[in-house]
A and B are shown apart, each in its own frame.
Chain A
Amino acid sequence: MLLRGLAGCLVLLATVASAPSGADPTEPPIPPAPAQPADPASAPAVPEAAPPPDTGVVASGPPGIAETADGRTLTAPAESETQLPVVPLTTALSTRGWMVGATFTGSTTDEVGGGTLEVGYQIGCGIEMNQIRLGGKTGASVNTSSISFPTQGAIDVRARPSTVTNAMVMKKDFKGTKTRVIVKDIHVRVDGCVGKSSLRSYAVLTSSTAHTEDIMAYYDVAMVF
């Protein structure tokens, strides 16, 4: 109840805040006022440039580099990473969502080609909400000298310790020595998180030959929201 009430307030605030920018783009522009005699005082004020929208640009981690036993070098850097928190589809504060994007690449030196590049996101949640139980009881008690009406309410919050959720976006099979996966505006989310949440991207590059498999992982710097 309390959570829902809080969430309701937040949504209301968000609605109020976004109202001025909620103009219908299909609405025809307001025609300019009829030309007036030249009057510097009535010149329309030049609107100030709006601040650029938050794109959620985040720093990428150091590229993953691995030397294979047969002398090749595998590299897996990521670039142009964005992680923008977005309002989730539910009104509960415990649902967290992000709009994410990045360019993951993987390459190997030499002519040996083929393998997979798996990319995705890991979401860590400090405390996971399981259930909230609201209980109450009331009754009447009569003894020799008085009548009373005991009333009791209980809130039972059932939380779970932290968990990490793996959200794989895709696993790309490639044949050459270079591979790339671009993701843009992917929506990742976690439900039932009441603690702090953190997010990082990952990429696992696998270089395969007939007999060997060299696996290397890249992880982005974790962001705490």
Chain B
Amino acid sequence: MAPAALPSGPIPSGNPGTLTTPEGLVLTVSASKESLDPVTALTNTPWSREYVVGGVFTGTVTGPGHSAVEGGVLEAGYQIGCGITQQDLHSISTAGITPGTGIPLVDGELIPVFSSATASEQLRIVLEPGRVNNVSVTRKEFEGDWARVSITGMRIRVDGCSGQSFIRSFATFTSSSDDNAAVVTYLGATRAV
């Protein structure tokens, strides 16, 4: 087997996601050092897609009173979209034989016995419209006003895809106080294969 392709380097990250609460707290969730590299899938077939991914995802709370926030959750993961999903593949082989006999005197044949054979093959491919799979790598629960998740050399995959496939990272940052919560999401740049 050929060795797995080495990560082909970082890709530009998307713009940070920001949210400003009425009290003036600013939630920022951003990413850096991202990589999304398509590699040969474990199954060695075109229907499975695999990517080696990595990145550093950071969520921070700034603004007045930021040190008083209780904490929250930073979830990081990947979304894989597939244009056409392949379901079943039917291969229907049919063979038949038709023995028969002519009615004597009517058809006038000398040997009134005959036989014929048939064979056919039919291929049926069942397709479905595309789907998006969410792969959550981690949900980091933290206390305080910042959190960071780093991912290195992780393989993310999708199976049964016969069209184009798309992948992008996401990070959802939640910050909670006693009575309120704020949620903001970062989406990375999309890579199509």
Which residues of A come within 8 Å of B, CB atoms? 64, 66, 68-69, 74, 122-127, 130, 141, 144-164, 195-196, 198, 200, 202, 204, 206, 208, 210-219, 221-222, 224
B174 to chain A, nearest CB (A): 14
Segment among B14-22, B134-142, B176-184, B185-193 that sits at the interface with chain A:
B134-142
Supposing A124-B41, A145-B103 touch, asked if A163 and B48 sit within 8 A by C-beta, the answer is yes
- Alpha-carbon gap, A34 to B96, bound state (A): 70
A64-B152, A146-B103 known; A162+B146 contact, CB < 8 A: no
Residue in A156, A163, A211, A216 whose CB lies within 8 Å of B142: A211
Residues from chain B with Cβ under 8 Å of A222 in the complex = 1, 42
Quick check: B103 and A147 within 8 Å, CB to CB?
A: yes
B150 near A163 (CB under 8 angstroms)? no
Residue contact B159 to A154, C-beta cutoff 8 Å:
no
A-B interface, 8 closest residue pairs, ranked by CB to CB distance from nearest: A148-B100, A124-B42, A152-B96, A161-B47, A162-B43, A66-B152, A124-B43, A162-B45
A147-B100, A161-B47 known; A152 and B91 CB under 8 Å?
A: no
Residue in B42, B98, B148, B149 whose beta carbon sits within 8 Å of that of A150 in the complex: B98
Interface string of B80-110 (1 = CB under 8 A from A): 0000001111111111111111110011000
Which residue from B92, B151, B159 sits with its C-beta under 8 Å from A155?
B92
Residue ID in chain A nearest B94 by CB atoms: A154
Some 8 contacts from A to B, beta carbons below 8 A apart, are A127-B89, A154-B95, A156-B91, A162-B44, A164-B41, A212-B148, A214-B150, A218-B153
**B148→A211 contact, CB < 8 A:** yes
Taking a contact as CB atoms under 8 Å apart, the answer to whether A161 and B162 are in contact is yes
A157 vs B72: C-alpha distance when bound (angstroms) = 51
The answer to whether the Cβ of B118 comes within 8 Å of any Cβ in the partner chain is: yes
Please list the residues of chain B having a beta carbon within 8 angstroms of any beta carbon in chain A: 1, 3-4, 41-45, 47-48, 56, 86-103, 106-107, 112, 114, 118, 137-138, 140, 142-144, 146-155, 157, 159-160, 162
Given A152-B95, A154-B94, A212-B148, A146 and B43 contact (CB-CB distance below 8 Å): no
In the bound complex, what is the Cα–Cα distance between A122 and B43 (angstroms)?
Answer: 10
**A161-B89, A213-B140 in contact; A69/B43 too (CB < 8 A)?**
no
Q: Among B47, B88, B100, B150, which residue has its beta carbon within 8 angstroms of that of A149?
A: B100
Q: Which of A66, A157, A162, A164 counts the most B-chain CB atoms under 10 A from its CB? A: A162
Task: Assess whether B90 is in contact with A147, with CB atoms less than 8 Å apart.
Answer: no
Residues in chain B near residue A195, CB distance under 8 A? 43, 45
Contact B103–A196 (Cβ < 8 Å)? no
A185 to chain B, nearest CB (A): 23
- Contact indicator B150/A212 (Cβ below 8 Å): yes
CB atoms of B98 and A148 under 8 A apart: yes
Knowing A145-B102, A147-B101, A215-B138 are in contact, say whether A162-B152 is a contact too (CB < 8 A). no
Q: For residue A117, give the distance in angstroms from its CB to the closest CB of chain B.
A: 14
Instruction: Give bound CA distance, A148 to B103, whole Å.
Output: 10
Contact B159 A161 (CB under 8 A): yes
Of the candidates B42, B87, B114, which one forms a contact with A122 in the assembled complex, judged by CB atoms under 8 Å apart? B42
Among A124, A126, A196, A202, the one with the most B-chain Cβ atoms within 10 Å of its Cβ is A124
Residues of A near B140 (CB, < 8 A) are: 208, 212-213
Would A211 and B98 count as touching, CB distance under 8 A? no
C-alpha gap A215/B56 in the complex (Å): 10
User: Which of A126, A213, A214 touches B43 (beta carbons < 8 Å)?
Assistant: A126
- In Å, the complex CA distance between A218 and B162 comes to 28
